A and B are shown apart, each in its own frame.
Chain A
Amino acid sequence: SSELTQDPAVSVALGQTVRITCQGDSLRNYYASWYQQKPGQAPVLVISGKNNRPSGIPDRFSDSTSGNTASLTITGAQAEDEADYYCNSRDSSGNFWVFGGGTKLTVL
């Protein structure tokens, strides 16, 4: 079982805003990072703690944390944002890393 919990699936209308959440006790102490994965491709980092986006990632992606919940927000979702999204952080011991189960985002 994963120490980070994500909703299996979320949908959003084109151009609307969607929030994908990740819950876990370790998030009270460690930032989450978020990865986008499209079918047949390797994951890609989209954002890490405190809104750090790699170059090339649109600024419609943002993140936040409150208590034991980290959130990835896409403001004005585009068709190309349809993908699986995974959160990642250290576990509660701080010695290991763990992924959430992933959220499949559908853009309608």
Chain B
Amino acid sequence: QVQLVQSGAEVKEPGASVKVSCKASGYSLTNFYMHWVRQAPGQGLEWMGILNPSGGSTTYAQKFQGRVTLARDKSTTTVYMELSSLRSEDTAVYYCARATQGVFDYWGQGTLVTVSS
């Protein structure tokens, strides 16, 4: 069965970077795009970007351009989201989500990133 298992919660200081992992199993990583979505406390879902695990190409939401990096390690079937220059507004739950024809059919369990001094 398809599973996306994300890394654990993180607490970071303002200005730091965070790297969240998402390990995929139950399917071939390179056959499906992977998106990242975040949700601030009490707020809605916000799309961050998309990774093509086959070739490694990425597209980022304009809001996160220059601060976010999506990458993958095919040998461990893991994708990564790194967000830099963290500020308090980046406190959120971050999700990876597999896409089939542009539809997010499987989601990770979410990773809470707290930015606080």
With contact pairs A42-B95, A43-B95 given, residues A99 and B47 touching in the complex (Cβ less than 8 Å): yes
Q: Is the CB of B35 within 8 A of A86?
A: no
Contact present for A102 and B95 (CB under 8 Å):
no
Q: A99 contacts which of B46, B50, B110 (Cβ < 8 Å)? A: B46
How far is A101 from B105 in the complex, measured between Cα atoms in Å? 19
Complex Cα spacing A86 to B50, Å: 19
CA gap between A101 and B45 in the complex, in Å = 7
Contact mask for chain B residues 56-78; partner A; CB cutoff 8 A; 1 contact, 0 none: 00010110000000000000000
Number of chain A residues whose Cβ lies closer than 8 Å to a Cβ of chain B: 25
Partner of A97, one of B47, B107, B108, B109: B47
With A42-B108, A45-B103, A45-B105 already in contact, the answer to whether A97 and B45 are too (CB < 8 A) is: no
The reply to whether B103 and A96 contact each other, CB–CB distance below 8 Å, is no
Number of A-B contacts (CB under 8 A): 53
Q: Are B44 and A96 in contact (CB under 8 A)?
A: no
Main secondary structure, interface of B, reads strand
- Report how far A14 CA is from B115 CA in the complex, Å: 41
Counting CB contacts under 8 A, is A69 at the interface?
A: no
Which residue of B37, B61, B95, B108 has the most chain A CB atoms within 10 A of its CB atom?
A: B37
Decide: B95 and A33 in contact? CB cutoff 8 A.
Answer: no
Q: Does B27 contact A (CB under 8 A)?
A: no
| Structural contact, A101 and B50, CB atoms closer than 8 A | no
> At the interface, yes or no: A88 with Cβ under 8 Å from chain B?
yes
Contact with A along B87-105 (1 / 0, CB 8 A): 0000000010100001111
Q: Mind listing 28 A-B residue pairs with CB under 8 Å?
A: A30-B102, A33-B102, A33-B104, A35-B104, A42-B107, A42-B108, A42-B110, A43-B37, A43-B107, A45-B103, A45-B105, A49-B103, A52-B103, A54-B105, A86-B44, A88-B47, A88-B104, A95-B59, A96-B47, A96-B61, A96-B62, A97-B35, A98-B47, A99-B44, A99-B46, A99-B47, A101-B44, A102-B44
Given contacts A42-B95, A45-B104, 9 further A-B contacts (CB under 8 A): A33-B103, A35-B104, A42-B109, A43-B104, A88-B45, A96-B59, A100-B44, A101-B44, A102-B45
